[in-house]
Amino acid sequence: MRGNIYLYILVMAGVTYLIRLIPLIFMRKEIRNVYLKSFLYYVPYVTLAVMTFPAILSATANLWSALAGFGTALILAYRGGSLFKVSIVACLSVFIVELMV
């Protein structure tokens, strides 16, 4: 027998929401401990870097367009482009390279 799809969805939604909510509820004070503070300061940079590379290389139809998108994003971000600009131009460069290759 298959379970009820809506119950499955509610179970997964409940678990996922609690994972996100619990730290926000229980960590209400500013952490004073220098080590923990530094750790949490570095978390986003490490997480986002790990998620981006090498996953970006296999995100598109071929490696060349992925490299074009990656390179474009790095250059524009280094020049201080906004999130929107960096993201859209990276998409465009993937599109153009895939038209050529």
Partner 1 sequence: MSNKIIPWKNGIKDGIPIALGYFAVSFTFGIVAKKSGLTPFQAVFMSAVNLTSAGQFGALALIGTSATYLEMALTQLIINLRYCLMSCSLSQKFEAGAGWPHRFLVAFGVTDEIFGVSVCKAGKLNPFYNYGLMSVSIPGWMLGTFCGVVSGEILPARIISALSVALYGMFIAVIVPPAKGNKLLTGIIISSMLLSLLFAQLPILSQISQGFKIIILTVAIAGIAALLFPVKEAAHEG
Site for partner 1 in 23-42 (CB under 8 A): 23-25, 27-31, 34-42
Query: Which residues lie closer than 8 Å to 91 by C-beta, 6 or more apart?
Result: 69
- How near is the Cβ of 76 to partner 1 at its closest, in Å? 7
Q: Please, are residues 94 and 68 in contact by the beta-carbon 8 Å criterion?
A: yes
Question: Taking Cα atoms as reference points, which of 24, 87, 33 lies closest to residue 59?
Answer: 87
- Is 100 an interacting residue with respect to partner 1 (CB under 8 A)? no
> Which of residues 63, 65, 100, 101 is near partner 1 by CB under 8 A?
65
- How near is the Cβ of 70 to partner 1 at its closest, in Å? 7
